[in-house]
Structure 1
Amino acid sequence: MDARARLWRLGVGLLTCMFVAGFAGCDAFTGPPAPEWPGPHAPYPFPNDVPHRTR
């Protein structure tokens, strides 16, 4: 078995392991959906009576 064949088998084996490990450890398809992003017009999280540096 020459070096090229060994490297080919090693590369295919590594790619297969990465592919299987990636799908086995991926929770993107089984996890809950992401919550909705509040968007740019969401209320400020602090009350209005907090002093700001600009005052």
Structure 2
Amino acid sequence: KLFVVRKDSTLTEAQLKAYCHEQLTGYKCPKYVEFRNDLPKTNVGKILRRE
């Protein structure tokens, strides 16, 4: 699963999947894409991977 914070609001799931299929090997391509407003972070600024 891929979590994405969009900078460009016109970015679509199909565009992301096409890019991943071009740039990544088959087993590394995400099956699901989820768009978020922001990622959960600690006070220091590191991403909380469990959340």
Q: TM-score range by the shorter chain?
A: under 0.3
When you count strand as a share of all residues, which structure comes out higher? 2
Q: Normalization by structure 2: what TM-score?
A: 0.25
Q: Normalization by structure 1: what TM-score?
A: 0.23
When you count helix as a share of all residues, which structure comes out higher? 1
Higher-Rg member (1/2): 1
Identify the structure with bigger relative contact order (alpha carbons < 8 Å, sequence gap 6+).
2
